[in-house]
Structure 1
């Protein structure tokens, strides 16, 4: 069981008192760090080792005082020594390590002072030993809890995609294919993430299990993995008392992820090494949104074009969800936050309840990128609200009742079964990240394992499914996403028939892009509720003949109007294959619910940042229609 931050602080205070007189590197380092790791409830020997030999780049050799592969280098000095020199020495060790073993953190210390360097964030935190209790959160990586900044085109994301792609290719070449392969990869990636973020405790038990319990030739790897998956699907109270001790350390996950029986894959030595490569990679830095890129990395290019799939950067996702709902929610919170009256706290609680009651629907969700980022932004806003409700971080509620926003507020439809399951799993991953962030803020351990809530991701054709069966329109708050981009001349006969039927344009069906069917179906769906709509679209629907075919349906038949829009810009992809197209973003409201001011984002450089302007009315060509 992971310790709460409050318990860690108590232990840190005791540790600081007990080691206040430590001064000598040679005689006290090992005992010091054994005790230091116990502050966090972790046995040092389970994750890190002392005196790791390193052959440096200048052909000399050295020994790392404490080494946690892929996570931490510690360079320890006696009291009063120059820590800048210690950091330089640690840097030499870092450069000499294999890439897969290079850590994110370097800690230098003289017993009485700690300097922790985060190489990813390029930050340094300095603390005296006596002040350690106030700084324990900076060492959250020991628990698998750490602050993360996710960046588009992060090299770590790209590397992760490549590693999973190689594992996929190796299994596929060994005739392990189709549904079993897809489901197997989703399970593996969940385990990798769990191993590095505190879902599995202690950290790296999955990696350690593969390294120490499976043979180097890979012959027994498949059967061992099958047993791991069975354990992850078994409540602790239902497990055999004779269960292998290493297997028994894995938690019950729930969520149906490990329930289905899969064919057992066969491995050889090189395939085992491919799995170990992805296990050794630090998955704590991976955004769950990268699941989309992981999927596209193993898709055939022809399949990607046929589906019109264009995985989306986080930056571009925010261009949809911020004007659709996040900007308004943040403005409402800012107003509540600024109030000084006696009802301020009560109304902040009601605002949090509002966040927990909203429903979000992506009817072309792919691997869930839009849902994942929307969930993250909503949870982050909720954390800010909770900080105002509990300004001293003293809770008057149980920790498990703290967050009201959950993954079961999110709905999606996806044509492919594999991406639908990826979306579901990635939402759980983001939930865990946000629970860790909440834990950091409030000093209490907040977890949702075993999984009890699930996102509602339907596997089906969104243009054939009745959306009311997924989420009744009167319960829906927002419909949004990135529907497929397939021009009229690239559509199959079935796709053209779908567009023609939904648009009700008669036998010809016009030359409408496939994406327009989502706009029309969404417009019809929201008639029985008050949901707002925001979609990415090919820029052609705001140009030429498509305007004459599509917009009379939206404006006249469905009584919608444009609430916000991004004019044409370049839409990039984080996935291998780099899908780049020119797009527009359209947000539409029911006319009787639309605001008076319309937001327009224009680009002087289609690869640059937009400039915003406000208007009374926007035309389908994305110009001011008021003159």
Structure 2
């Protein structure tokens, strides 16, 4: 099947998911020069349609297509929510031997998410017209024949070190300007908390990033904007036209912010652009111990615990957690929010 034939056929199809999925996948195999599941593996031992799997949430389900050590693939009808398909795949992943790729598709697009342990998740979308491109077809073929080509090179730890390095540089510059270590530590950890909180939707509409971008041409404006935000996070309120909920705990016990210069704002914008859902809070704490003036560590109150201790120390029923890093419960709250967000993707 040529790319032109495939695109013309599937652009016109209006069948529902159940009627079209296997036919679409078989045509895709022909397009890529591969055998379809029934031809390649008549017994369904390693390549199969409707592969049964126990859900991690309980009960039974099935992946629309499964190829051992390569992928689990879920179809949805045209214009349906592919994030829902990924949530289904995550439910099946353990029973399907944790395939390295999770793929969701309708008749117009194929979305591929990497699923290796301790790597930064990568998402790639191939639209129907992208299949005209031989290089993109070759990349899709690798999902079947050489999934290692899809493996991200950056680990969660290296991403975390990148983020921490930017904050360590910021903290050093602030100390060099004469700010007390205690104030620097408190301020920097507020900024880190805001990045995690924004990533999981606890701060609305990319509010923190917008604040940073507004300070790029005028760094002196940052301090006032940050005070407004921190005051709202302490007790709830408006920042511009955006409603910000209150965050309990000691991290936002006042609205103090430190003045920033152009290089500081640049580092924060670069850090905010990272995928904070992939950054490990427990590793970040260790890096801050090394970076925020180890000689002053006892004054900073920088008490960090490992992931297991954090999770054991969680206290249920707290509406918003905001006392990180001195409180393990607050960091656990952020970590739990990140886990919920990741599971929902």
State the TM-score, normalizing by the size of structure 1.
Answer: 0.31
Question: Aligned in 2, Cα 1:169/1:82: closer, same or farther, shift over 3 Å?
Answer: same
Supply the distance in 2 between the matched residues of 1:268 and 1:34 (Cα, whole angstroms).
Answer: 45
1:238-289: per-residue Cα shift (whole Å, max 9, x none)?
Answer: x36xx512x43x4433334213242x32222222112112211222112221
Give matches, 1:175-190, under 5 Å.
175-190=178-193
Give me the CA root mean square deviation.
Answer: 4.7
Within the alignment, does 1:77 sit opposite 2:128 as a pair? Answer: yes
Supply the distance in 1 between the matched residues of 2:315 and 2:134 (Cα, whole angstroms).
Answer: 45
Supply the distance in 2 between the matched residues of 1:280 and 1:421 (Cα, whole angstroms).
Answer: 26
Which one of 241, 245, 254 corresponds to residue 248 of structure 2?
254
Question: Aligned in 2, Cα 1:75/1:244: closer, same or farther, shift over 3 Å?
Answer: same
Q: Show the counterpart of 1:145.
A: none
Q: Over alpha carbons, which structure has the higher Rg? A: 1
Gaps of 5+ in 1: 1-14, 23-31, 41-65, 91-107, 109-114, 123-148, 308-364, 379-404, 410-417, 446-627
Within the alignment, does 1:218 sit opposite 2:219 as a pair? Answer: yes
Report 1 or 2 for greater relative contact order, CA contacts < 8 Å, sequence distance ≥ 6.
2
Supply the distance in 2 between the matched residues of 1:71 and 1:216 (Cα, whole angstroms).
Answer: 32
Question: Aligned in 2, Cα 1:375/1:215: closer, same or farther, shift over 3 Å?
Answer: closer
Question: Aligned in 2, Cα 1:406/1:215: closer, same or farther, shift over 3 Å?
Answer: closer
Gaps of 5+ in 2: 1-15, 25-76, 86-110, 112-120, 318-322
| 8 Å contact kept, 1:295–1:419 | no
Supply the distance in 2 between the matched residues of 1:229 and 1:118 (Cα, whole angstroms).
Answer: 41
Q: Show the counterpart of 2:305.
A: 369
Q: Show the counterpart of 2:208.
A: 206
Q: Show the counterpart of 1:427.
A: 332
- Shift of residue 88 of structure 1? 5.9
| 8 Å contact kept, 2:160–2:284 | no
- Shift of residue 184 of structure 1? 0.9
- Shift of residue 201 of structure 1? 4.4
Three-state SS of the structure 2 residue aligned to 1:369 is coil
Which one of 268, 274, 284 corresponds to residue 277 of structure 2?
284
Question: Aligned in 2, Cα 1:177/1:408: closer, same or farther, shift over 3 Å?
Answer: farther
Question: Aligned in 2, Cα 1:38/1:428: closer, same or farther, shift over 3 Å?
Answer: closer
| 8 Å contact kept, 2:216–2:266 | no
Give matches, 1:203-352, under 5 Å.
204-211=206-213, 213-235=214-236, 239=237, 244-245=240-241, 247-248=242-243, 250-262=244-256, 264-300=257-293, 302=295
Three-state SS of the structure 2 residue aligned to 1:74 is strand
Three-state SS of the structure 1 residue aligned to 2:220 is coil
State the TM-score, normalizing by the size of structure 2.
Answer: 0.52
- Shift of residue 158 of structure 1? 1.8
Supply the distance in 2 between the matched residues of 1:164 and 1:374 (Cα, whole angstroms).
Answer: 25
